């Protein structure tokens, strides 16, 4: 199939759907079509989507408002418990790779929009001055924390 620069929302959605189908198939996952479609979709996203200045959680909340979704809806979309979704939306839990993929597919957006670092609020943070955790899991072996 011959691909061209994306000029309309319907063409964008068509390319997103085509990319999704190609990526699902292990035989075409590494094809040139996947790379080309990804580049075209990323260019459209950069030129037309204004979520790039928001952190991933702000983006999710904006998308939820735009699509009239609540946290229960989001938990069903992501196949996560309501508690896990609540922790994510309150900056207590980072986004997993699978969650980022599911958000990207559902909202038809590039994964990079959701795959950016942002500060998490965590029990550990409350006891350590100037030690915000980012959207990654960290282990701390020994700490002299006040009781």
Contact criterion met (CB below 8 Å) for 84 and 76: no
Taking the whole predicted model, whether its pTM rises above 0.75 is answered as: no
Average pLDDT, the chain: 80
Per-residue pLDDT reduced to its tens digit, 33-65: 888 988 888 888 777 766 557 889 999 998 999
Per-residue pLDDT reduced to its tens digit, 72-100: 999 999 999 999 999 999 998 889 999 99
User: Which pLDDT belongs to residue 43?
Assistant: 86
């Amino acid at each position: 199939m011959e691909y061209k620069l994306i000029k309309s929302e319907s063409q964008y959605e068509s390319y997103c759907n085509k990319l999704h189908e190609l990526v699902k198939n292990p035989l075409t996952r590494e094809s040139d079509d996947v790379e080309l479609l990804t580049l075209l979709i990323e260019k459209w996203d950069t030129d037309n989507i204004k979520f790039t200045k928001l952190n991933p959680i702000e983006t999710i909340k904006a998308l939820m408002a735009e699509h009239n979704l609540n946290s229960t809806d989001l938990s069903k979309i992501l196949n996560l418990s309501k508690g896990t979704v609540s922790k994510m939306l309150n900056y207590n839990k980072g986004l997993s790779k699978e969650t980022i993929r599911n958000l990207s597919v559902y909202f038809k957006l590039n994964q990079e929009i959701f795959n950016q670092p942002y500060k998490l609020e965590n029990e550990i943070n409350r006891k350590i001055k100037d030690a915000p955790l980012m959207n990654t899991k960290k282990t701390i072996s020994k700490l002299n924390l006040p009781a």
